[in-house]
Chains A and B, each alone.
Chain A
Amino acid sequence: MPKPEDLKLDHVANLARLALTEEEKARFSSQLGDVLAYVALLNEVDVSDVEPTAHAFPVVNVWAEDIPEPGLSVEDALRNAPEKRDDMVVVPKVVE
């Protein structure tokens, strides 16, 4: 079973694509350490032979008729883009 101190902030922040300040790292380490210590309570539950629940009322194979209908206009779809040009979202160069 993992221990609260196993939480490596740098590694997890990288996975989450989230830049944290040194101060945030220190604070989250301590606060999430408390939360993880509390969550360790779950280890006393016998979960052998128990199926996991992902949704309380699982619905499977939901199909919709394949009928085209009007979607968002290009203008609406791009209205909230931070930077745009010629009906496209502008991003920094990603290939050399």
Chain B
Amino acid sequence: MSQELFTLSIGELSARLQAGSVSAVELMQAVIDRTKEVEPRVHAFNSYDEADALAQARASDERRARAKGLGDAVKRPLEGIPVGIKDVISVAGQPLTASSRMLANFVSPYDATAVVRLREAGAICWGRLNLDEFAMGSSTENSAFGPTSNPWDLERVPGGSSGGSAAALAAGEAIATLGSDTGGSIRQPAALCSVVGLKPTYGRVSRYGLIAFASSLDQIGPFARTVSDAAEILKAISGHDRRDSTSVKLEVPDYGLGIEQLSRSGRRWRLGIPKEYFGEGLDPEVGAAVEAAIAEYRKMGCEVREVSLPHTKYAVGAYYIIATAECSSNLARFDGIRYGHRSKDATDALDIYFKSRAEGFGQEVKRRIILGTYVLSSGYYDAYYLRAQKVRTLIRRDFLEAYKEVDAIVTPTSPTPAFRKGEKAANPLAMYLNDIYTIGVNLAGLPGMSLPCGFTRAGLPIGLQVIGQPFKETELLAIASAYEARTDWRSRQPRL
């Protein structure tokens, strides 16, 4: 089982593809077969196009053969690697649903920039992965096409909103995946499914072709089996894009090389432990696993010290004002006129708006549009939206203040392991509070990762969050890699 192709890392597969012991077509076929076997139980995909994926794999094998014929081996680490794509990121000619009835029949006219760059790196774009509708949720239960199951316990949620991206990887239905993270939507499902998830610094990866939820918070990032796999995907998708004016003009480092150099340098990392992240609401088993990970860092000679992020308790409140405000504005484009669902019962243009939106959006999306519209409305803007933006400034300052003393901040990713389907469905506030440790990172625009750090007695995965400094993903990855090298969590696989 552990040697099945679909369980291997990009690093391991890349070596085999280069050596010629496996072809891209064989790898893709192994992933397709595995997907057909487990998908009825996991439901990580909204759709996948087998013929298209195999055609991409054949093209990859041809590129490799051609390069060999010229005496020039293909060294691109992602050449021939199947990467699943969250169904909120455009892939030309493929469906793009955002797990919403609103876009049930939408076909992407173009590739997102991150997808263009994956293709340029030789990767195979594979499947459309399930999510909470329009990326709004923490459990993937808000999908109009049915929930995704956690491969570690099918009765439980995989987290969200990128639950399909995390579950597919954990279940062997992809070798890596892309997700998007607005308040924890990559890191939390990564934690709940025992995979690596990385949210880059805001502006590091172009958002062009990503369906906008909250534009000042959204960022595309990878799910992978190892830290160095995540580094390879990040390297491929990062960089300035003139189609996203918030993407930054900074050189993209060779992250993989950077990790190696930093680990050889024997640098003694200074890690901050924010006391506010270890209080009430933290599951004792999660707390113990994270403490054990911190102890591991101490053993390798890191300097661990307590830091304070005093405005932590306001992060969820500020986030749900800012994110819903931006969502209400972004989702105004879904009006039933140019694309998306149009009501058959509408009598005039205005009626098309009201009825198409009522029929096309699910409950959580409607709830957030209402909240966002309210906090932006006349008479309430200053009290809610403007105040939340000011609190955002204070939250960001907390982190920057802490970074005067430490290189990175280490916390739990999620206060609890995966919860049962339906457990929080009727209580939106309880669901929102599940994001308490991940949201501050988005408000401050920082890079953050989740990596596996253990399991509960019941066998549910636990994630460790490492939060880095702006645009210092290399250091963040090196710190994550140092812990990963001393542990063996990846050898545990879900029984499916």
Contacts and interface: CB of A to CB of B under 8 A. Distances in A.
Nearest to A6: B380
Nearest to B242: A64
A39 B328 CA distance: 18
For B105, B110, B358, B374, which residue has the most chain A Cβ atoms within 10 angstroms?
B374
Interface string A24-63: 1000100110111011011101010011111111010010
A81 B391 contact: no
B353 interface: yes
Contact of B373 (A6, A12, A53): A12
Interface extent on A, as a size class?
A: 35 or more
Nearest to B393: A53
Contacts of B337: 82, 89, 91
A32 B354 contact: no
A52 B389 CA distance: 5
A68 interface: no
A89 B242 CA distance: 29
Interface string B429-442: 10010000000000
Contacts of B393: 50-53
A34 B317 CA distance: 12
Interface stretch (B32-40, B67-75, B281-289, B363-371): B363-371
Interface in A57-96: 57, 59, 62, 64, 72, 76-77, 79-83, 89, 91-94
Interface string B182-226: 000000000000000000011100000000000010000000000
Given A13-B370, A82-B336, A91-B337, 16 more contacts: A18-B357, A18-B366, A28-B366, A38-B316, A38-B429, A41-B317, A42-B318, A42-B321, A45-B391, A50-B390, A55-B445, A56-B202, A57-B470, A80-B107, A92-B352, A93-B348
30 contacts: A1-B383, A2-B384, A17-B353, A18-B358, A18-B361, A19-B354, A19-B357, A24-B363, A32-B371, A35-B371, A38-B316, A45-B311, A45-B390, A47-B387, A47-B390, A47-B391, A50-B394, A52-B390, A53-B393, A56-B444, A56-B446, A57-B203, A59-B203, A59-B245, A72-B110, A76-B110, A77-B109, A80-B340, A92-B346, A93-B348
The 8 closest A-B pairs by CB, nearest first: A56-B445, A52-B389, A82-B342, A80-B339, A19-B358, A47-B390, A62-B245, A19-B354
Interface of B: 105-107, 109-110, 201-203, 216, 242, 245-246, 248, 311, 313-314, 316-318, 320-321, 328, 332, 335-342, 346-350, 352-355, 357-358, 361, 363, 366-367, 369-371, 373-374, 377, 379-380, 383-384, 386-394, 396, 427-429, 432, 443-446, 470
